[in-house]
Amino acid sequence: MSLEHFIKNAISEWMKVKGPQSDIVFSSRIRIARNLSGLPFPMLSTDSQSEEVVNRVEEAWKTNKQELADLAAAEFVRMKDLNELEKRVLVEKHLISPMLAEESRNGAVLLAQDESFSIMINEEDHIRIQCIFPGLQLEKAWKLADQLDEWIEKNLSYAFDDQRGYLTSCPTNVGTGIRASVMIHLPALAMTQQLNRILPAITQVGLAVRGIYGEGSEALGHLYQVSNQVTLGQSEEEILDKLQGVVYQMIEHEQASRKRLQEISSVQLEDRVFRSLGILTHSRIIDSKEAMKRLSDVRLGVDLGLITDVSANVMNELMVMTQPGFLQQYAGSRLDAEQRDIRRSKLIRERLGLENRS
């Protein structure tokens, strides 16, 4: 396996599997923040100190990776060995964060072969463990993250306080250091103008709602990332139970809105879905924001059974492949905005054409 495996394949292996509630919940993610004892946190560390963190983690992995089968097949990649385009592709696949790609001086990542987990080094904290599974599978993601966390703690010493728990750069991560999140698709709630009522209510119960790339990003294609905000004073089970309970309510609201649209506005709904499919199939230029909006409509049509000759996996694939980094990686060169918009429309036409013929 090589870095090329992660860069050239738009859809991760875990994305090809249908998970529970996958018509609405795209993915479940667990992220654990940790720091090594005896070294300054990344924002205060020198180049030599941050390099030491990378070396310690890499050495622990090389020496003890046979203890976990998933780690034995993983790939260790340093950010300095990647160009800007390769970093952007990994961000678009949610394998690394924008912060690691843009700001880390001595960053690295340990990538699972099936891309179900990545361990980022020298992001906001020394170590960020991330595990992703399709659909609503928070407990399964937590089980893997916990195994990886125990493996690291067995081989490296964490910064820990008996009263505060695990110590992190951001105060909101102190304690368990766990962020649980789901990527949820809410097109019907958006169409029925209910999101403005539901999203503020979610933040009032201690959860955060963000865009597809986390904090500060935009909710393109009606995709939202819902996660816990506080880790101190809550157990892992409490964090997961609270988030899962709210997500089930969001699923129920989305399902009710979809049913209402089919009952009351079936012609308008079908027109919107097939109009978007027509634009994607025949357009010659399309920007990323409109592409995500149209892909969201078509994905809704697929999930409702209105469109039967396009698979949900193709929609997942196109939502990644049409992002700027992947388009340029596919082209083999840097593209300006108009060139990307032209290539994006061509790629969508070709992919939908292949799907229909198959």
pTM, 2 dp: 0.86
Q: Which of 48, 148, 62 is nearest to 105 (CA)?
A: 48
Q: How many residues does the chain have?
A: 358
Q: Tell me what percent of the residues of the chain surpass a pLDDT of 90.
A: 56
* pLDDT surpasses 50 at 1: no
The answer to whether 213 is a known ligand-binding residue is: yes
Q: What is the pLDDT of residue 355?
A: 58
The answer to whether 215 is a known ligand-binding residue is: yes
Over residues 56-71, the mean pLDDT reads: 91
Over residues 198-205, the mean pLDDT reads: 86
Over residues 183-206, the mean pLDDT reads: 89
Phi then psi dihedrals of residue 238, to 5 deg = -65, -40
The answer to whether 344 is a known ligand-binding residue is: no
Instruction: Tell me the per-residue pLDDT of 87-146, one tens digit each, with 9 for 90 and over.
Output: 888 888 888 998 999 876 789 999 998 889 999 999 999 999 999 999 999 999 999 999
Q: What is the DSSP string of 229-247?
A: ---TT--HHHHHHHHHHHH
Phi then psi dihedrals of residue 140, to 5 deg = -65, -40
The answer to whether 175 is a known ligand-binding residue is: no
Q: Which of 140, 217, 136 is nearest to 183 (CA)?
A: 136
Characterize 17-54 residue by residue with b for buried, 16 or more Cβ atoms within 10 angstroms of its Cβ, and e for exposed. eebebbbbbbbbbbbbbbbbeebebbeebeeebbbbbb
Among the listed ranges 3-12, 71-80, 139-148, which one has the minimum average pLDDT value? 3-12
The answer to whether 29 is a known ligand-binding residue is: yes
Q: What is the pLDDT confidence band of residue 356, given thresholds at 50, 70 and 90?
A: low
Query: In the chain, where does DSSP find H-type helix?
Result: 3-8, 47-64, 69-72, 84-92, 98-103, 138-155, 187-191, 195-204, 236-264, 266-282, 288-303, 312-321, 324-331, 337-357
The answer to whether 343 is a known ligand-binding residue is: no
The answer to whether 180 is a known ligand-binding residue is: yes
The answer to whether 94 is a known ligand-binding residue is: yes
The answer to whether 5 is a known ligand-binding residue is: no
Q: What is the pLDDT of residue 88?
A: 86
The answer to whether 31 is a known ligand-binding residue is: yes
* pLDDT surpasses 60 at 210: yes
The answer to whether 30 is a known ligand-binding residue is: yes
Instruction: Tell me the per-residue pLDDT of 298-341, one tens digit each, with 9 for 90 and over.
Output: 999 999 999 998 888 888 888 888 888 878 877 777 899 999 99
* Amino acid identity, position 66: Q
